[in-house]
A and B are shown apart, each in its own frame.
Chain A
Amino acid sequence: MSRTIPAGRGRPAAALLPQRKNSLSLRLKRISRAWQLYVLLAPAVIYILVFKYWPMYGVQIAFKNYNPVDGFTESPWVGMTHFIRFVNSYQFGQVVGNTLWIAVLGLLLAFPIPIILALLVNQLQSERFKKFTQTVLYSPAFISTVVVVGIMFVILSPRSGLVNNAIQLGGGDPVFFMGSAEWFRPIYVISDVWQNAGFSMIVYLAALAAIDPALHDAAKVDGASKLQRIRHIDLPGIMPVVTILFILAIGNLLNVGFEKALLMQTPLNISTSEIIQTYVYHAGLQQAQFSYSAAIGLFNSLLNLALLLVFNTIARRANQATLW
């Protein structure tokens, strides 16, 4: 951050000399002048050091046998033991597979639907209907995960649930949705779309609103249909936002929805509902295998990071907007 002092035209060289000599003390002076800004920033920095970097430092227990007496630093090293144990365990294939399944299914459905909804809502003529649609579609985002899963349990209940009542009305046999392994993934993904599509839509609507209306007017004059304008004006217009959100979604691919999966778990659907993070929770916090589950968590984080880097690179190659 060294500052080069511009050679002042007509300024006496002597005036520059002491400044250059004292560039370090100058910088210190600038720092001390900004002390109040550092005070404002201090709580946030302390927070991030304690609750983000300290746990990050603690990740070393993935390569150790953690015991509370020795703490993060002093516990004995065991190398890759925990990783090897995880990879060789019978849960490995199942847990990683389940995670990828719901992550990819979720991405395929939950990512494009908000974009489509935004494009459709944007075409509505009536401002009031537009606003009403927006409000209704995003209201489920304000319902807690606990309540959403609670709604699933009552609506899908085999004895008295709405859905099973409808099935029986149509002459079918009731299905025990929450207690079946095959139904976990569809329910998980559909409820995700139900709850979040409307809220995700808002960002795209904001991006659509930023498109220059003159483009649409010009296209109308040229006789372009609505569909053509969506295809040639709206979509390219929101593409940068789409790309960035897609990369972020990829970066979070293996993290999202862990709480919901945990809440939806029943002993009967565990073969599809146990994902990496719920497994970490069970093995780590319920069975107190701290090092083993920290290793699995680290495996998950690194996988995420790798996905993010790969997709950011792809986006850059394709000359799209990137995160950095």
Chain B
Amino acid sequence: MSLTTNPRPTGIPTPPVTQGRPKPTLRDKYGDRAFTIGATAVLLLSILAVVYPLYFIVIASISDPNAVYEGKVWLLPSGITTEGYERIFADSRIWNGLGNTVIYTVLGTAISVSTILCGAYALSRKDMPGRKILMLLFVITMFFDGGLITKYLVVRDLGMLDTVWAVVLPGAVGVWNLIIARSFFEHTIPNELREAAQMDGATDFTFFFKMVLPLSKPLIMLMIMVHVVAQWNSFFDALIFLNDDSKYPLQLVLRNILIQSDVSSTGTTGGDIESYAAAQRIAELTKYAMIVVSSLPLMIALPFMQKHFTKGAMIGAVK
């Protein structure tokens, strides 16, 4: 960054920054251009690496399974078929799992978000006696954890095994989310507002529900989305706490079909090798379609959620 190599004539006063970018020097212009081209190329390749596998899944899900099997499907679907999707929609396990997931997601999100918002607001109040000790109580659990086994035993001792509660309660409050919500309240709710409200006789309850919550819509949206996504995608708590497969959420059904290679959904009726191989290909086709169907709701919602998540990252970064 030595100034001596800068060929800009010293007689001309430096233009004010507000008038646009100062002219780059010749050497730097080429260096910068090369850099910009390189950066753009890297990013385009990254985009391709992210998008292509997903795109392939989509086209494979509507292509003739034989064409996929023979490696003929690369850029466009071939021999369009909707058989994969038809099989999924005819599969009662999928519908049942979807229904369970919707219930768990709605209930779990409601519990988590309301607990976090109320708790975080209380913790954001500097005039609450014992605030520091209570906060410490939460923070400790970020660094030390009782572990999987004792968590399982506690849920069992509570009699929650095989119930909805085992899916929605054990992971309800993430301390990280609590901290984000607390710092949001600390930064956006001015003390003067509360003092004024208290003058007018507002209690903590009325202030929180009538003033704080309406002012915290971005935070509430963020929290709802974080929990909807997490609950929609979770499978592990269901795996360890549920035995009854009529209560399985979608992700657990998917795991059994996609990963444990459960072919019964394709309705194979034994028979010769030929029909077995055909059934195998149909099973693969169903898998592609299943990946599409299960990811679609969140992918469609993504553009709407993006704004809130970006804001959330900002809140988190302020910390």
Q: State whether these chains interact.
A: yes
Known: A162-B53, A162-B56, A285-B240. A139 touches B302 (CB 8 A): yes
A234 to chain B, nearest CB (A): 13
Interface size on B, as a range, is 35 or more
Q: Is the interface of A mostly helix, strand, loop or mixed?
A: helix
Residues of the B chain whose Cβ atoms lie less than 8 Å from the Cβ of A136:
47, 50-51
Q: Judging by beta carbons under 8 Å apart, are B148 and A139 in contact?
A: no
Q: Judging by beta carbons under 8 Å apart, are B137 and A45 in contact?
A: yes
Stretch at the interface among B23-31, B86-94, B102-110, B264-272: B23-31
Is residue A47 contacting chain B, with contact meaning CB distance below 8 A?
A: yes
Residues of the A chain whose Cβ atoms lie less than 8 Å from the Cβ of B208:
40
Interface residues of A in 69-123 (CB under 8 A from B): 71-72, 117, 120-121, 123
B264 to chain A, nearest CB (A): 17
Q: Judging by beta carbons under 8 Å apart, are B204 and A123 in contact?
A: no
Known: A44-B116, A160-B281, A224-B1. A294 touches B204 (CB 8 A): no
Residues of the B chain whose Cβ atoms lie less than 8 Å from the Cβ of A147:
251, 254, 258, 291, 294-295
Cross-chain contact of A55 among B128, B151, B302 (Cβ < 8 A): B151
Is residue B223 contacting chain A, with contact meaning CB distance below 8 A?
A: no
Closest chain A residue to B280, Cβ basis: A159
0/1 string, B6-28, CB within 8 A of A gives 1:
10100000100100011011001
Q: Judging by beta carbons under 8 Å apart, are A198 and B144 in contact?
A: no
Cross-chain contact of B47 among A133, A232, A293 (Cβ < 8 A): A133
C-alpha spacing A97/B177, complex, angstroms: 32
Residues of the B chain whose Cβ atoms lie less than 8 Å from the Cβ of A53:
141, 146
Is residue B42 contacting chain A, with contact meaning CB distance below 8 A?
A: yes
Q: Judging by beta carbons under 8 Å apart, are A43 and B118 in contact?
A: yes
Is residue A61 contacting chain B, with contact meaning CB distance below 8 A?
A: yes
0/1 string, A217-240, CB within 8 A of B gives 1:
101111111111000100000000
Is residue B178 contacting chain A, with contact meaning CB distance below 8 A?
A: yes
C-alpha spacing A66/B152, complex, angstroms: 13
B161 to chain A, nearest CB (A): 12
Q: Judging by beta carbons under 8 Å apart, are A263 and B46 in contact?
A: no
C-alpha spacing A205/B138, complex, angstroms: 28
C-alpha spacing A146/B303, complex, angstroms: 22
Is residue A169 contacting chain B, with contact meaning CB distance below 8 A?
A: yes
Cross-chain contact of B25 among A223, A226, A277 (Cβ < 8 A): A223
Which of A143, A221, A223, A308 is packed against the most chain B CB atoms within 10 Å?
A223
Cross-chain contact of A281 among B57, B148, B150, B284 (Cβ < 8 A): B148
Known: A34-B129, A48-B173. A142 touches B32 (CB 8 A): no
0/1 string, B35-61, CB within 8 A of A gives 1:
110011011001101110110110010
Q: Judging by beta carbons under 8 Å apart, are B69 and A117 in contact?
A: no
Residues of the B chain whose Cβ atoms lie less than 8 Å from the Cβ of A210:
317
Is residue B82 contacting chain A, with contact meaning CB distance below 8 A?
A: no
Residues of the A chain whose Cβ atoms lie less than 8 Å from the Cβ of B122:
37-38, 40-41
Closest chain B residue to A265, Cβ basis: B259
- What are 27 A-B pairs with beta-carbon distances under 8 A? A27-B129, A38-B122, A38-B128, A41-B122, A43-B119, A44-B116, A44-B118, A47-B172, A55-B146, A55-B150, A56-B141, A56-B144, A61-B149, A138-B309, A142-B298, A143-B298, A144-B254, A147-B295, A153-B261, A154-B291, A155-B53, A160-B65, A217-B17, A225-B32, A225-B35, A281-B148, A293-B148
Chain A residues near B (Cβ < 8 Å): 1, 27, 30-31, 34, 36-41, 43-45, 47-48, 50-59, 61, 66, 71-72, 117, 120-121, 123-125, 133-140, 142-147, 149-151, 153-155, 157, 159-160, 162, 165-166, 168-169, 194, 198, 202-203, 205-207, 210, 214, 217, 219-228, 232, 241, 251, 255, 259, 262-263, 277, 280-281, 284-285, 290, 293-294, 297-298, 300-301, 305, 308
> Can you name 20 extra interface pairs (CB under 8 A) apart from A40-B119, A154-B284?
A34-B125, A36-B203, A37-B128, A40-B208, A56-B141, A58-B146, A59-B146, A59-B150, A125-B36, A133-B47, A144-B232, A151-B53, A154-B287, A154-B288, A194-B50, A198-B50, A214-B17, A222-B6, A284-B148, A301-B145
